[in-house]
Chains A and B, each alone.
Chain A
Amino acid sequence: MIRKPIFLIPVSLSYAILAWFVYFVINPLCYNIFQQPAFVLTTEFFCKKMSAIGGLAEYLQTFIDQFTMFRFWGTMLLVAELFVTAFLVARYVRKITGNIPYVTMLAFILPVAISIVAWTDIRYSFAINMQVLLLALALNLQQAISKYNWHNFVVPLLAVAVYHACGAVALYTFTVCNIVAYILSPDKRKLVGLVSVVVVTILWPLLVYNFMLPVRPANAFYDVRPQEQMFIVFDLKAVLYMLFVYVPALVIVGNVYNRYAEEKKTNLITLASVVLIAVCTVFFQQKRDNYPERVGYKMEVAAYNKDWNQILNYVKNNSELKDYGCYNQKVNFYYNMALAVKGQLPDKMFSYPQRMGINGLFVDDPIATVICLPTTILFDQMGFTTDALHYAFEAQTTYENSHYIMRYVIDNLLVIGDYYNVSKYLEKYKHVMLSGKYVKNREKYLNGIVTNLDGKNVESIRKKHPKRDFYMGNSQYDVLQVVMTDKDNAFASQYLFASALLQNDLDLFYNLLLRGYGNLNYNNLPRAYQEAIVLYRSFNKSAPGLDKLNIQSFIVEQFKSFQNVVSDDRSDIREIVQDKFANTYWKYYFFDNPKATEISVE
């Protein structure tokens, strides 16, 4: 179709760029951990999906989406799916408008451009791609049967099938394509078929909505996203519709091109189009890109895989993440967690802008679906099994079959020793594709003997878990209970002290210190702790037990200098503090804490 290099090069290049973009920039793993697709091999799952408009596309796409848990295969499948869609669209357009290499090239590169812009947001639903693929398939089928007399009877049925398989917008696109094709075609015998398609397009969604399926109006009439994802806020919704619009648009472009383009100008038009598309793509991609958010999800993947070094490296290698405009609560949360795992939270916590205060340490307030997995990861890491399980169950309300959630539920039930329900969840999880290896591994523990779960010492967690019953909910209080049960739980201790510091609650911090939580060496306290003690001493000189604590002299000196700076009535105090005391607790205490900056969680 497009053998000339001027056409072939942009097409090849665009798919190579798309593959690079998916693999390196958006990373299928981030998409996977955000949307948590799971394909269930049961008729119930199939029927449930099919009960919504566009259900078939959603069902098939879920099958593809599940492979995004593998970075390479996820990338390949998504790109291949788009290529097949483009191929089918190009084939259809060629059949309608004739073989125009320029239009064929557009058919291939336009979806890449649209996808780069759309996929930048991890909220994008790939089911839209499957809708367009199935639509293109239907258009080709319709085109193939158009020569037969019975075409007029079949085409309205095809329209109904498109509606149920791909959704309302696909149906509208199908109809518009039919109208355009009819106008362009010299054969006017297809009028009956066209009229019946138009009638179906107008009436069928109304009939379905009012008498057949209890779906939401958005699902029946205009939204391209699966029913389950309609509540996910997606900026620039127009992008979602572009893949549909481009199909009839190409037919029109082909026709215009046929009429007006001169052969000698082909190369110029092609080059200009490619450049224009590339510029627009880069512009809109940059506009839509939420880099810190993407890093947050990359960190979530790393935290799930317990790759703490990678999390620390993200911050180390991308210093802009510390900038005010780049702040992201999830990045803050996972960075703190990685520091705590490495035992570096007290030393390095304030080298990162803790803009959200304690809400960068715990993200469970207010509770919402998005915080459930992070909170599960946190409490699982802390060994606080009951709370990890609590949040895993909350997450499961939305992500019923998610690999991530299922595994946390099953592992924490194993730690608790509730083998009856482990068996139940394993039985359920068995039906989810790609779960086989995990299920097989965990089934061997159903006899009640479980000592090690992927490196976790189960007996040790059981021993350290708070035995006393109490009401969970306030994370700081929960962590206190964990630390009270096991003073050696270094991870939890760091969180406890950090929570006191981040709330500017020096009384609590000092009390925890005196009570010996965290088994700290008083002669070699972490820097942030020493800074907090010096500060506390300045407020409360008669506090008991202070003599035991060894504060390094340079910190005392530095604090004096800090006091001098802040006591000056200068307009550039903030700049000086930023310059000289950038990573200190004092800066956080006076300038950066959420009360001072009036930042709150949305």
Chain B
Amino acid sequence: MKKILYSAFILHLFVSCSPTYNDAVSGGEPFIYPDYTDIVIPVNIAPLNFRADGNAELLSVEVKGKTETVTLKCKNGKAIWNERKWRSMLADNQNDTLFYTATIIDSIGRVVRCAPFWQFVSPDSIDSHIAYRLINTGYVLWDKMGIYERSLETFKQKPIIENSSVDVACMNCHSFSAQNPNTMLLHTRKFNGGTTILYDGKLQKFNTKTDISMSAGVYPSWNPNGYIIAMSTNIIGQQFHNDYGKRIYVSDSKSDIVLLNMKTQTLTTCPQLSTKDLENLPAWAPDGRTLYYTSAPQREGDKGYDVGYWYSLLRITYDEATNSWGTADTVLRAKDLGGSITFPKVSPDGRYIAYTFAERGYFTPFNWEADIYLLDLQTMQVSLQPNVNSSCSESNHGWSHSGHWLVVGSKWPDGMFTKPYFAHFDGKGNFSKRFLLPQADPDFYDDFTFNFNNTDFITGEVPTTPIDWRDAIKADPIQVKADPSVDIDGLSGATKKSEK
């Protein structure tokens, strides 16, 4: 009898302490952080853990799928998925919708049962990894930085290379050929300078500065053939704004474009890409023959505050077999749009170009007004994409291998730190509402003061170790050859050596 009474007492305690929320009032959709409400998600994404935003606290979340309903108990106000459960939910609800009903305690202490929000599980899987540079908010100086790869299917992040092993060299502009992790490029500057390239299973460092180029290669784009890399060559400067919202303006006094052929280790260019104008940011079309790039007219002596270069979008064809170039053709004129076009990225089907549009310049992570636009190359229609933009800077975007997903570097909501957001693309010119890179702990971004810089999709892990990169970067660089048929002076653009 004693045992029964004791058990009944314990049961009573348990029941009286368990929240039943019978007296919960009804409310609208909850504000959660990160905002994972009403989004399209890939079937292979890592769990989207979240918490209530602001002063509210999440109590529980009911997730209703096609066949199953799961209740997430929110310890410390966080909705944390069991990874296995999450994966099975996504697999079971592929091409269907998950409905989330959250119960929260709002800022005035009421228990509120919120209106449901949804996540559509797209069968279009996302590339399994992304690569990015993590860098803090310094503008001129740097210390710790690294290039990392992160699985999008789990929360695992691994360094590809950290600069602590290479004498704190500045490292930047990592890039891959068609999201293929087996072909990668990375520049190092200041210490152990050069361009280290993973190509044909080998990691080697190159010096890409030749007498037909004004600098070593800078902003790269791999040809889909996997062995030709277009790179800009730039003389870069930066200025700091007194206006806190603007912070920094990066501009070039000169820039051109060159091609590096990894098979022959030869650098080539043409007069059309070496004019006195500022050719920059090359981007190959998937046909491997058309090279898009941006260009702004050079204005001698313009270094004052009010000057901002407006870059137009151009293209040129290149025939590798004959090493010959077509004529440069303007695709979008900056003057017509009233601003500057930058970071053009051609969709894998070749039909669209996603680009950043800003008030001025080409390096737009600090342009708060910078937004992502889409150009339909069939109709030549340009459209602002509200679902991937915010009131902060959007920039440094990239397409997934399939073309169904876009990653966008956005400084939303703090205006200071770039974070990767993902959005689904329907192939008809529309993006779904974007969502933030998921982390195991939804509080992750609260105290994370590094920028996810230049996030790019990759289809798997880079098959190297940080030790491989260290050894390659510390080795003496191989000098690339200048194409003997090119008669261009590196610094003065199209001026021919013979004329000089």
Contacts and interface: CB of A to CB of B under 8 A. Distances in A.
A428 B447 contact: yes
B303 to A, nearest CB: 9
A148 interface: no
A397 interface: yes
Given A214-B165, A396-B137, A396-B138, A425 B305 contact: no
A368 B138 CA distance: 12
A416 B245 CA distance: 10
Contact of A397 (B138, B240, B242): B138
Given A214-B466, A215-B165, A398-B143, A393 B138 contact: yes
A369 B144 contact: no
Given A386-B242, A427-B446, A470-B242, A216 B165 contact: yes
Interface stretch (B64-72, B319-327, B401-409, B411-419): B411-419
Contacts of A425: 447, 449
A470 B136 contact: no
A531 interface: no
In this complex, which of B141, B143, B240, B446 has the most chain A Cβ atoms within 10 angstroms of its Cβ?
B141
Given A424-B414, A425-B449, A472 B244 contact: no
Contacts of B240: 387, 390, 471-473
A472 B470 CA distance: 37
A216 B447 contact: no
Interface in A439-492: 466, 468-473, 478, 481
A400 interface: yes
A348 B243 CA distance: 35
A557 B141 CA distance: 51
Contact of A394 (B141, B164, B465): B141
A172 to B, nearest CB: 22
A472 B241 contact: yes
A260 interface: no
A372 B466 CA distance: 31
A479 to B, nearest CB: 12
Nearest to B443: A427
Interface in B258-316: 305
Contacts of A213: 467
Given A469-B241, A472-B241, A428 B449 contact: yes
A111 to B, nearest CB: 30
Interface residues of B, number: 40
B161 interface: yes
Interface in B134-167: 136-144, 159, 161-162, 164-167
A393 B137 CA distance: 6
A13 interface: no
A469 B143 contact: no
Interface in A329-380: 367-369, 372
Given A231-B168, A369-B141, A421-B416, A472 B242 contact: yes
A473 B239 contact: yes
Kindly name the residue among A427, A430, A466, A478 whose own CB sees the greatest number of chain B CB atoms within 10 A. Answer: A427
Given A214-B162, A214-B470, A418 B244 contact: yes
Contacts of B447: 424-425, 427-428, 430-431
A431 to B, nearest CB: 7
A387 B247 CA distance: 10
User: Which of B140, B162, B246 has the most CB atoms of chain A within a 10 A radius of its CB?
Assistant: B140
A469 B306 CA distance: 10
B206 interface: no
B469 interface: yes
A466 B140 contact: no
B143 A397 contact: yes
A210 interface: yes
A422 B303 CA distance: 34
A188 B427 CA distance: 78
Contacts of B165: 214-216
Nearest to A210: B467
B244 A397 contact: no
Given A215-B165, A466-B242, A390 B139 contact: yes
A368 B242 contact: no
Contacts of A430: 447
Given A214-B466, A397-B136, A469-B246, A420 B414 contact: yes
Given A398-B143, A428-B447, A420 B137 contact: no
Interface string B154-193: 0000010110111110000000000000000000000000
A324 interface: no
Contacts of B138: 393-394, 396-397
Contacts of A227: 164
B167 to A, nearest CB: 7
A539 interface: no
Contacts of A387: 240, 242
Contacts of B448: 428
A216 B167 contact: yes
A492 to B, nearest CB: 14
Contacts of A418: 244, 415-416
B164 A372 contact: no
Given A210-B467, A369-B141, A424-B446, A469 B243 contact: yes
B424 to A, nearest CB: 28
A424 B449 contact: yes
Nearest to B165: A214
A150 interface: no
A471 B305 contact: yes
A472 B248 CA distance: 10
A462 B302 CA distance: 32
A389 interface: yes
A211 interface: yes
A214 B469 contact: yes
B449 to A, nearest CB: 6
Interface in B219-242: 239-242
B137 A481 contact: no
A430 B162 CA distance: 26
Nearest to A470: B242
B141 A481 contact: no
A216 B242 contact: no
Interface string B463-480: 001110110000000000
B450 to A, nearest CB: 9
A387 B164 CA distance: 28
Contacts of B167: 216, 231
A160 B167 CA distance: 25
Interface string A184-210: 000000000000000000000000001
Contact of A389 (B244, B305, B414): B244
A228 B469 CA distance: 19
Residue among A52, A228, A231, A390 facing the most chain B CB atoms (10 A cut-off): A390
A421 B246 CA distance: 15
Which 8 pairs show the lowest CB-CB distances between chains A and B? A397-B138, A214-B466, A428-B447, A427-B447, A469-B243, A214-B165, A471-B239, A398-B143
5 contacts: A216-B165, A418-B416, A424-B416, A470-B305, A472-B241
Given A390-B240, A394-B141, A471-B305, 15 more contacts: A214-B162, A214-B467, A367-B140, A393-B139, A396-B138, A397-B137, A400-B136, A400-B143, A421-B416, A424-B446, A431-B447, A469-B243, A470-B305, A471-B239, A471-B242
